[in-house]
Amino acid sequence: MNDRTRYICGLRALATWLEENPDAAIPSDERFLLPLSTNDAVEEFAAKLGQDVVYDDEGNASTTREFGPIKLHAYGYVDFAAHSDFLAERNARRWAAKKGLEIRGAEDGAA
């Protein structure tokens, strides 16, 4: 059984379990996030679904397909590599700050 088939079986099993356990709490977030990395991938995905693409202030694309209260939210970035670099640097700086350290670049005189 491939990953896709296992995922679909898991969704069906969850739906059955929720149906069979009416007192069970449901997840607080109704979104399934689908990271597609690039705007082009989001645009292609949206075109197949007949969905509109929304762009944020930075030009990153997203589209959302609704299945009742459940939302499949696909998103991508103008420059995924730059976004990844930004997150890595931000996380490194947060880690350093927690340790009482400061990260400085070569332009600050660090070697």
Q: What is the mean pLDDT of each run of 10 residues along the chain (111 residues)?
A: 94 94 90 93 96 95 94 91 84 93 76 50
What pLDDT is stored for residue 105 in this prediction?
A: 76
43-62 burial: b if 16+ Cβ within 10 Å, else e: bebbeeeebebeeeeeebbb
Q: Residue 50: left if φ>0, alpha if ψ -120 to 50, beta else—which one?
A: left
What pLDDT is stored for residue 107 in this prediction?
A: 73
Helix count (H) and strand count (E) of the chain? 3, 4
What pLDDT is stored for residue 109 in this prediction?
A: 59
- Residue ranges covered by each domain of the chain: 29-103
> pTM here?
0.67
What pLDDT is stored for residue 81 in this prediction?
A: 80
From the number of C-beta atoms within 10 Å of its C-beta (0-12, 13-18, 19+), residue 71 rates as middle
What pLDDT is stored for residue 87 in this prediction?
A: 84
What pLDDT is stored for residue 52 in this prediction?
A: 97
- Tokens standing for residue 80: 């995924």
**Helix, strand, or coil (residue 48):** helix
